[in-house]
Amino acid sequence: MKPFFLLSLLWCQFSWAIDTQPLNKNQSIDYPSIARIHFQHQKQLQSLDALSDVWAVNQQQQFAIVYIQDPSTLQKLHDLDLPMYLDHKLMAQHALDQQNIKANSHLSNKMGTGIPGFACYSTVEETFQRMDQMELNHPNLAEVLDIGDSWEKTVNGLAGHDIRILKLTNQSTIGDKPILFLASAIHAREYATAELNTRFAEYLLSQYGLNADVTWILDHHEIHFSLQTNPDGRKQAETGLLWRKNTNQDYCSPSSNDRGADLNRNYQFEWATGNDQCGPTYGGSSAESEPELMAQMAYIREIFDDHRGPGINDPVADDTSGVFVDIHSYSQLVLYPWGFTGSLSPNDNQFQALSKRTAWFNDYLPESASDLYPVNGASIDTTYGELGIASLVFELGTSFFQDCNSFESTVLPDNLDALMYLARVAQAPYKQPLGPDIENLLLIPNVVLADSNIQVSGTANDDRYSQANGPQSTESIQSVTAYINQLPTQATSGTALAATDGNYDEVQEDFNSTISTTGLTTGKNLVYVHASDGLRAGATFAKFVDVVLENEVAHLTGTVTDALTGNAIPGGLLQINQSNALTVSDGSYSQWVQPGQADLVVSAANYSSQTLSNLNLVAGTQLVQDIQLHPFCDIFSDDMESGSPNWNNQNPWAISNELSVSPNNAWSDSPGGNYSDNLNLSLTTPAISITDAQSLEVSYMSHCDTEAGYDYGHFEVQFDGGSWQEISTCNNQDQWQQEIEPLNPPNGSNELKLRFRLTTDSSVTRDGWHIDDIKVKASGSLCTALLVDTIFVHGFDN
Ligand SMILES: [Zn+2]
């Protein structure tokens, strides 16, 4: 590398950092600028919020990200006398975003290309088109409603937008259905929010009839989406403006980009007058003064019953149904009422359970909204405070203009799971989150002839709570119950499922029982399962059992054996075209499969799984497939208890007893304290021989307590001394988690090294990265020698 290039790299790194010295009162800055302002108590944070545009708040580190648009804002911030550090990294990102939007602005009126520069986010028009498409493709499940007009449409009937609702439910099943209401994009600039909800709606429709949970949820619930809650404002934000409010010209001045009302301060409950009409949180001239909100609240009052008593401290009854979620960005939070006061709501216990279960899925911090900073006239205070709806806010991701890569890889999948959980418990959100969850529910076989037995297995777990804001109390599992074609909440009787270890007496319990399908009609039947901790039953989980006629399905049979020894593999799982089967003691299996072309996936504990592609399954015929699986053998294992020789650890990486899984030791990047700023330090394993390995799997325990969005752990691999490849990154994860990574070695590879590398930026430090219990497993002929050795050592005597 040439010296000047190295220098420019160093300079780049520096220019992307956060200032180490606070902003001097006489210092001149560029506009706009973005700064971290550190505060010591909530009052100061409230002042910040009143004076400026607060983008995000980090409560643990006690700083706010603040947008400084002009000299007068800077002066007001200086007057607060709080340390202010320019964030060059965010400024550079913001400038890049603006360039990106500009460079793609020629696409702005072309349907289907998304927000310029952010192709993964639909524009308002595209969102409306996708809503219409859902209604067109699924007329019995989806309906689009026009519930009012945006501000621009109320003053000029031709321009502006309709306020539209997408309602999903199976219109053939009638009755009083619990409601999940999902709102998004009330703040115009929060790009990812509408997309998450739109994708959730499309996911539900695409999985109806295929996924048992989606099917019962749409059969027995209504899900209402307010996808583009603030369409006028959103059109401004789509041009790259940081527009937050609606576009009401009566506030501030008609042509100002600071005009409009903050719709999420315009709700009725504890609404308060604001005096700065140009400020980002101006709440309108009176509660529900804005047409977008008037329409939304009229609709909500029509579809939800009122379950709240007259007093501020009247709790909502435990069996109340319905959930409201207002999706915002950014900060990675799950918030619950109250927002207007630091006092606890009368349902605080239940909100803690609901938010901690939800945050288990998206890994966000669960906290009360006022812990962030107190606000008046916000959505969830009104939906909970007025009507008693269990209400949450999500603050998605790490940026208003979240890049599409991280949206697709993290924000979307994590939050789809969180929304799915809320749909599951919408029938009793104040009660079910206090009861246990079900994991790994499996029915085998699930495609059966009439009058068969099926095995129901899984794990009941009362402990699936986020621990990020303190522990939640848990109880032992007392029972697990299955119900066929009857929702547990409506069923008269179910079948008790037995604990695998004989007794239900722990917080986490495996269950395994046989139930009969006698009396079920041909076609897909639903098996519902829920668990109880004695006090409360938890969320409902379901799977299909497909009762078939023999001449209408294919019959797949064969054996599964060990590729090295030829021994039968009992308990192997075969999955094909939604049909599951297990091998029995002689390694044989037999399963009914719906006809068609499909892939067969075969897996078993301690074996490398195998896929047989495009099997042709013909109704009324039998297909025989004998499968050999290659066993995994351990080729590297280190629990850090015996000194870990031959590792390469850059100082201060060391083995320490600060935190560990297998007692007493683990690697730590910063034993006994926090890591430092501006680091790039790695820990590398010795070379691991992988000659003749067919497939590899690395597992390790990771505790990655770093600053969210800035400081990262990178897990990397290297084959035969080649270039390092990043496999995964971690950050902001302050509990132990097992990471399992399958690796694909290039053909003919002989040697593998693993590297754990910590990178940190120029401010805010945390405890850091701890690594324990690393294992590498391989399959292939490399295992032959190892396994023969094991057999010899054990001497066949067991
Ligand atoms: Zn927001």
Residue 740 has pLDDT above 60, yes or no: yes
793 located within any domain: no
| d(CA 186, ligand 1 centre) in Å | 7
Q: Are 361 and 396 found together in one domain? A: yes
Q: Which of 486, 495, 547 is nearest to 521 (CA)?
A: 547
Phi, psi of 630 (to 5 degrees): -85, 125
Q: Are 639 and 711 found together in one domain? A: yes
State the pLDDT at residue 718. Answer: 97
Q: Are 221 and 362 found together in one domain? A: yes
Domain that holds residue 609: 550-631
Residues with catalytic function: 395
| d(CA 262, ligand 1 centre) in Å | 9
| d(CA 523, ligand 1 centre) in Å | 45
| d(CA 300, ligand 1 centre) in Å | 20
Neighbour tally for 534: CB within 10 Å: 12
Pairing verdict, β 733-743 and 695-705: antiparallel
| d(CA 266, ligand 1 centre) in Å | 13
306 located within any domain: yes
CA dihedral 602, 606, 607, 611 (to 10 degrees): 30
Pairing verdict, β 712-719 and 654-656: unpaired
| d(CA 183, ligand 1 centre) in Å | 11
Residue 694 has pLDDT above 90, yes or no: no
Q: How far apart are CA 707 and CA 56, in angstroms?
A: 14
How many CA atoms are closer than 13 Å to the CA of 699, on its beta-carbon side? 13
Q: Which of 153, 496, 194, 523 is nearest to 328 (CA)?
A: 194
- The share of the chain scoring above pLDDT 70, in percent, equals 96
pLDDT mean across residues, the chain: 92
796 located within any domain: no
Q: How far apart are CA 218 and CA 177, in angstroms?
A: 10
Phi, psi of 649 (to 5 degrees): -115, 115
| d(CA 344, ligand 1 centre) in Å | 22
Residue type, 644: S
Rounded to an integer, the average pLDDT of 157-168 is: 94
Question: Cβ distance 160 to 88 under 8 Å?
Answer: no
Q: Which residues are within 8 A (CB) of 496 and not within 5 positions of it... i.e. 6 or more apart?
A: 479, 480, 481, 513
Q: Are 682 and 719 found together in one domain? A: yes
Q: Are 748 and 645 found together in one domain? A: yes
Flag the least confident range among 8-22, 148-162, 757-771: 8-22
Q: Are 16 and 81 found together in one domain? A: yes
State the pLDDT at residue 6. Answer: 39
242 located within any domain: no
Q: Which of 489, 524, 545 is the last residue of a domain?
A: 545
Q: Are 583 and 664 found together in one domain? A: no
| d(CA 187, ligand 1 centre) in Å | 5
| d(CA 711, ligand 1 centre) in Å | 25
| d(CA 76, ligand 1 centre) in Å | 23
Q: Which of 610, 631, 652 is the last residue of a domain?
A: 631
Q: Which of 712, 687, 683, 675 is nearest to 700 (CA)?
A: 683
Flag the least confident range among 67-76, 122-131, 639-648, 786-795: 786-795
Q: Which of 573, 601, 631 is the last residue of a domain?
A: 631
How many CA atoms are closer than 13 Å to the CA of 595, on its beta-carbon side? 11
Residue 765 has pLDDT above 90, yes or no: no
Question: Cβ distance 437 to 462 under 8 Å?
Answer: yes
Q: How far apart are CA 194 and CA 161, in angstroms?
A: 16
* Total number of domains constituting the chain: 5
563 located within any domain: yes
State the pLDDT at residue 16. Answer: 56
Q: Comparing 712 with 61, which gets the higher pLDDT?
A: 712
| d(CA 54, ligand 1 centre) in Å | 10
Confidence of residue 780 (pLDDT cuts 50, 70, 90): confident
**CB burial of residue 458 (10 Å; 0-12, 13-18, 19+):** buried
Q: How far apart are CA 410 and CA 397, in angstroms?
A: 8
Q: Are 414 and 358 found together in one domain? A: yes
Q: Are 619 and 693 found together in one domain? A: no
Q: How far apart are CA 438 and CA 538, in angstroms?
A: 8
Residue 159 has pLDDT above 50, yes or no: yes
652 located within any domain: yes
